[in-house]
């Protein structure tokens, strides 16, 4: 990283004495050399970034991305996934085990850790709860933790056996491992691909009801309480789930949760056009659910926001809605969606920079002088077009593709590296 001087940025860091003040930041050799209200430098090789009207914060952390490697590199590999993440303001990501083979042993964990070495974006593997994500027997949780896994989940496969989930919670508790639940009861969801409600009735499509999610949230909360273990719920989407988790936190349970950015903006009304890019899991819900999710973010029930970046080749999305695969590419569109949802810069930083790291019990980077520079510079009003030129992913399955978006990541700094989005 060259010596860089960022000038006139608004610092967003609730823990810093200059929070919401206009500051200059001098970066040298990958470290914060100086942070003050005004900095003057005589360095002729200095690169200056005028950040007037923009915000500077700790680098974003994404708790839910799918990179495809190993096995599905045609969808996304670690290099292209990291490039998309960096363009979206993320300096760290946790990758889901939806791979082939799944991340279910120390070998796959080591592969990801070693492949990602030297990246600007820190890549943390999430190991499986069960072998092969089949939901039958526990995977090698402790071995994976020792090798670098930061949590355990069966990805987009919900653990249907309550006994297996209970054993996972109890076993992981012994070494401070975190179990992540993808809450969906398959027997109720029925493999249906959109929200059950007025729109599904109008379209004549079988729906996936809120109950499929909330009943699994309820089950896993009981299991976590019984085993006195910590649990994290990935991508909740319903009013009922927010209410259940809020009550569990009030009881003192060790529970956290996140929500996907698209579930804060899009509703099941979008499905009327049968655009398969609106097909996600959990499905897009209703305005009532979005209202509850936004309230849950505000009152602290929801700890983090994720992209749920899920790339697919064109043959898996450019087909009939019913048979299309779930998921959208989303690393680069999280910020514009959160601005559209009405979140303030402070709320965005809390749910993208601080909250995710706290969920995983990882240290929150420091903004003190002498600390490693782990930063994102973003604007809440600059416009840009998300298209083939700006897209860094291998895939293009996004309902926002080709649109002008408001809210742009201007630069990220981490591991003595810089990416600037011109």
pLDDT, tens digit, 9 for 90 and up, residues 109-157: 999 999 999 999 999 999 999 999 999 999 999 999 999 999 999 999 9
| Tokens representing residue 340 in the block | 């559209």
Burial class of residue 342, CB neighbours in 10 A (0-12, 13-18, 19+): exposed
What pLDDT does residue 415 have?
96
Cβ(63)–Cβ(360) below 8 Å: yes
φ, ψ at 165 (rounded to 5°): -65, -40
CATH of domain 59-359: 3.20.20.140
Q: What letter does residue 29 receive in the DSSP assignment?
A: T
- Spatial CA neighbour of 32 closest among 373, 352, 422: 373
Element (H, E) at 217: helix 210-226
Please tell me the number of Cα atoms within 13 Å of 147 on its side-chain side.
21
Q: Where are the domains of the chain?
A: 4-56+368-420, 59-359
Cβ(178)–Cβ(152) under 8 Å? Answer: yes
Q: Nearest Cα to 360, choosing from 264, 272, 252, 230?
A: 230
How much is the pLDDT for 353?
98
pLDDT of residue 1: 59
For the four alpha carbons of 146, 147, 151 and 157, in that order, the dihedral sign comes to negative
Supply the pLDDT for residue 349: 98
Instruction: Please answer whether residues 352 and 305 qualify as being in contact, where contact means their C-beta atoms are separated by less than 8 angstroms.
Output: yes
Using DSSP, state whether 380 is helix, strand or coil.
Answer: strand
Helix or strand run (H / E) with residue 182: none
The position carrying tokens 């069966």 is 154
Q: Rounded distance, CA 325 to CA 317, Å?
A: 6
Tell me the backbone φ, ψ of residue 29, rounded to 5 degrees.
55, 40
- The whole-number pLDDT of residue 277 equals 96
Beta strands in 71-190 (DSSP E): 90-95, 122-127, 151-152, 179-181
What is the CA 244 to chain-centroid distance, rounded? 22
Helices 210-226 and 162-173, axial angle in degrees (round to 10): 40
Alpha-carbon distance 337 to 331, whole Å? 11
Strand partners, 36: 24
pLDDT < 70: residue spans in the chain: 1
State residue 2's pLDDT score. Answer: 76
- Judged by phi (left if over 0) then psi (alpha if -120 to 50, else beta), residue 410 lies in alpha
Report the DSSP pairing between strands 404-414 and 375-385: antiparallel
Of 204, 213, 284, 277, whose CA–CA distance to 244 is shortest? 213
Which pTM was predicted? 0.96
- Measure the CA–CA gap between 364 and 379, rounded to whole angstroms: 22
With beta carbons less than 8 A apart as the criterion, state whether 60 and 91 touch.
yes
Q: What class is the 4-56+368-420 domain?
A: mainly beta
């Amino acid at each position: 990283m060259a010596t860089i001087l960022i000038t006139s940025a608004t610092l967003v860091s609730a823990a810093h004495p200059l929070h919401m003040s206009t500051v200059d930041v001098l970066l040298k050799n990958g470290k914060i050399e100086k942070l003050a209200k005004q900095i003057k430098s005589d360095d002729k090789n200095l690169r200056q970034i005028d950040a007037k009207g923009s915000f500077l914060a700790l680098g974003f952390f994404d708790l839910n991305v799918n990179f495809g490697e190993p096995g599905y590199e045609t969808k996304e590999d670690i290099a292209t996934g990291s490039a998309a993440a960096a363009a979206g303001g993320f300096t760290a990501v946790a990758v889901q085990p939806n791979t082939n083979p799944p991340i279910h042993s120390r070998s796959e964990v080591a592969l990801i850790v070693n492949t990602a070495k030297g990246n600007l974006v820190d890549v943390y593997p999430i190991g499986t709860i069960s072998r092969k994500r089949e939901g039958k027997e526990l995977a090698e949780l402790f071995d994976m933790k020792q090798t670098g896994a930061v949590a355990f989940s069966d990805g987009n496969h919900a653990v249907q056996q309550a006994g297996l989930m209970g054993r996972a919670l109890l076993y992981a508790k012994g070494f401070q491992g975190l179990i992540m639940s993808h809450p969906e009861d398959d027997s109720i969801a029925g493999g249906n691909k959109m929200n059950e409600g007025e729109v599904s009735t109008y379209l004549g499509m079988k729906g996936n009801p809120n109950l499929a999610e909330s009943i699994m949230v309820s089950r896993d909360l009981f299991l976590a309480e019984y085993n006195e273990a910590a649990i994290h719920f990935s991508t909740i989407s319903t009013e009922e789930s927010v209410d259940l988790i809020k009550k569990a936190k009030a009881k003192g349970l060790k529970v956290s949760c996140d929500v996907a950015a698209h579930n804060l903006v899009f509703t099941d009304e979008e499905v009327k056009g049968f655009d398969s890019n609106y097909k996600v899991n959990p499905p897009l819900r209703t305005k009532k659910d979005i209202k509850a999710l936004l309230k849950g973010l505000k009152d602290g029930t929801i700890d983090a926001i994720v992209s749920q970046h899920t790339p697919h080749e064109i043959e898996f999305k450019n087909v009939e809605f019913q048979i299309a695969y779930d998921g959208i590419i989303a690393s680069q569109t999280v910020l514009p969606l959160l601005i559209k949802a009405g979140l303030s810069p402070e709320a965005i930083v809390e749910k993208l920079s601080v909250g995710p790291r706290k969920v995983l019990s990882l240290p929150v980077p420091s903004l003190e002088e002498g600390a490693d520079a782990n930063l994102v510079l973003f604007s809440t009003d600059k416009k840009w077009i998300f298209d083939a030129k700006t897209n860094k992913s291998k895939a293009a399955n996004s309902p926002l593709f080709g649109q002008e978006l408001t809210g742009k990541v201007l630069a990220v700094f981490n591991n003595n590296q810089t990416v600037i989005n011109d």
